Structure formats: C-alpha cells, structure tokens
Amino acid sequence: MGEATLRTLYELAATWETLHGKVETGALTAADVTARLAPLVGVDERGRRWTVSLDGTWTEVSATGEPVASGAPKAKDPTTTKSGEAALRAALKELDALVGLAVVKRQVKELTALVRVQKMRRAAGLPVAVMSYHLVFRGNPGTGKTTVARLIGRIYAALGVVPSGQVVETDRAGLVAEYVGQTAIKTAAAFEKARGGILFIDEAYALARDAGSASGFGQEAIDTLVKLMEDHRDDTVVIAAGYPAEMDGFIAANPGLRSRMPRTVDFPDYTDDELLTIFAGLCRGAGYTATASAKARVRSLLAASSRGPGFGNGRAVRTLFEQAVQTQALRLADERRPTRGELRALTGDDVAPALTEPR
C-alpha cells in the first residue's frame, strides 16, 4: 500500500467523516476519496493499525499494510450497520441542508464522530469511557432546536445509541400535575412514551420556576427525571431546550443534572439574510414565488425588528409567510381567471406591513 500515513484512530474517523460528506455533496468522487484514504492508517491504544474504506469498513492491518492474517476477511465494521450507515448519512445530509446553524452542525458532527470512535474502541477491545448522551439546547424561539432534536433522534438511532429514532416532545404541562403526588407519575408516564428514543422537553426552564420549594411540582418533575435518566441511561436520551439564561437555572435546579447533561448546544439567532432564505424556502416548498418586492419588504421588516430574547426567528418568518398567503388569497379571490404565475406570486403588498411575533 506504499508509505503509510499514521494517525490516531479518532483522527482517521474524523477524516473519513469529512471525505465521505464531500462525496455526498458531489465535491469529491468516490475514486478521489478511496485514493486519499488508501495511505491512511489509524493506530489504537494497543498499537494495532486500522484502515477504513469508503463504505466505512474497518480492517486491521500489519505494519506493511497487509491484513493481519493471510487471506483474513475484512474486520466487522465497528461503527454502524450498512442500513444504519445509510440512515446516518441521510440525517447528516438533512442537517447540512438547514439554513445557517454552522456552529450547531459542527457540534453535532463532533458528537457523531465521538460516538463512532467509542464504538471502534469497544470493537477493538479497548476500555470505553462512560458517556452521557443527554443534551441541553440553548437558544431563542424559532432557531431550529426542535428540528435538530428530531435529526439527533435519527442520528442516535443509526449509531445505536438508542433503539429507535422516535422523538417525544413535551413541556412543563406534559410533566407537571395539578395535585400533590401526581407529578412523579405524570413525568414517568411521559418518559415511558419516549423509552428507546428521545424525550425532548421544550421550555424546560419552566420546570425550575419553583425550584427549591418543598411543594414545587416542577422541582418534583426535575428530580423524577434525574432518576429516570440514570435508570435508563442505556436506552433513552433527554434533550432539554429553552432560553439561554433560563436554562442555566434549570441545570442548577438539581445537582445531578449537570453531570447527566454535560453537553450544551447553543443555537444563535438567524441573520437577516438567513431569515430571508428561510422565507424564500417556505415559498418554494408551498408552490409560491417570492417576488423581488416581497423579498424587499421582508428584508425591510427584519432590519427594523427588535432582536430581544422573545424574537421569533424562523417562527416569525413562518408567520409572515402564512399572512402573505392569506393576503394574496383575498387579493385574487375576486379574479375570474388568475394566471398560473399570479397564483404563485407573493408580492410586496401581500407581505404584512409589520412583523408579528408568533405566540
């Protein structure tokens, strides 16, 4: 195989992820990636050497690059099955297609690489550190937290972190009961629905509003969650989401939360350009066309909007789109035979004169 380029197993896995992604986007051909991977060898902590092929198959090799045993079959892929690999690629492709969120995408891919290497270490007979897969999402409304949580459900399932990719969404109302002694039962029931997948708690900080109170039902829900997260750490993941500052209070509500949810993913507000791209995407997805005047109106409204903690980001733009569709319908309702182009076009006059925040 020529002169080998030695790397750690983690570095080789990360390189494979990067190159494989470029094949998916068309930036590289399969032949290009195969040629780049050929001289690369990953070395584990026992000094064993591994190569990886384009399809993710890992093979242990000798110092000369030959399989460790003459005629030995390729080593079993220590990451995912072929079906899991396809599902993982599809989920990561959808993640890449999301508007903006560059930092979020990087963090998710880093987590994916970490899970992969942990599985490689286990397959290689190396000790594997106990990992917590629970996550905290911090960000303002409409920044893609729910969308990314659903993708992580699929990613975790493809990697074998959880048995299924189901994501059960809930909030304080879905966990807290009205009467003493009922909250623990209600929280356990919600958790049970998510068993084998992801429990996504939106506005999780609301549970901490009565933190420290002996009669606090929200505190009871948090305490119950902490125990359930520990009891079912091998088959269920919790993702708690909410405003950045308020989520710090949520984590502080129980000493066990910080150790069980050590990973935080921050979702930044979208820029005006990104929000305009989202608006245009909503139009295309529903069979409409945003005219130049419509885009100019949207950009003007975004430029004049206040970007406080309550700014709706993508939700605000979706509301703007839905209002524009309604206004266009009223405008064309009395037209006897509007053309196909007129039925598709959203104009500047169709876009609301003010940005209405979603509730």
Q: Provide block-wise average pLDDT over 10 residues at a time, the chain (359 residues).
A: 69 75 75 85 75 75 71 40 78 92 92 86 78 91 93 92 90 86 89 92 87 70 91 90 89 87 92 95 94 95 83 90 95 89 94 71
Residue 50, SS3? Answer: strand
Sign of the C-alpha dihedral computed for residues 325, 327, 331 and 334 taken in this order? positive
CA–CA separation, 110 vs 116, rounded Å?
10
Domains of the chain, each with CATH number or no CATH: 5-79 (no CATH), 132-267 (3.40.50.300), 272-346 (1.10.8.60)
Q: What is residue 70's predicted lDDT score, i.e. its pLDDT?
A: 40
Nearest-CA neighbor of 69 among 56, 60, 81? Answer: 60
Burial class of residue 173 (count of CB atoms within 10 Å of its CB; 0-12, 13-18, 19+): exposed
CA–CA separation, 156 vs 165, rounded Å?
7
> How many Cα atoms within 13 Å fall on the side-chain side of residue 38?
10
Q: What is residue 33's predicted lDDT score, i.e. its pLDDT?
A: 83
Q: What is residue 81's predicted lDDT score, i.e. its pLDDT?
A: 57
What is the H or E stretch that residue 43 is in?
strand 40-43
Q: Which residues contact 287 (CB under 8 A, 6 or more apart)?
A: 344
What is the H or E stretch that residue 169 is in?
strand 167-170
What is the H or E stretch that residue 59 is in?
strand 58-61
Q: Do residues 170 and 343 touch, judged by C-beta distance below 8 A?
A: no
Q: Do residues 330 and 295 touch, judged by C-beta distance below 8 A?
A: no
Q: What is residue 359's predicted lDDT score, i.e. its pLDDT?
A: 47
| Main-chain phi, psi angles of 177, to 5 degrees | -95, 175
Q: What is the per-residue DSSP string for 247-279? A: HHHHHHTSHHHHHH--EEEEEPPPPHHHHHHHH
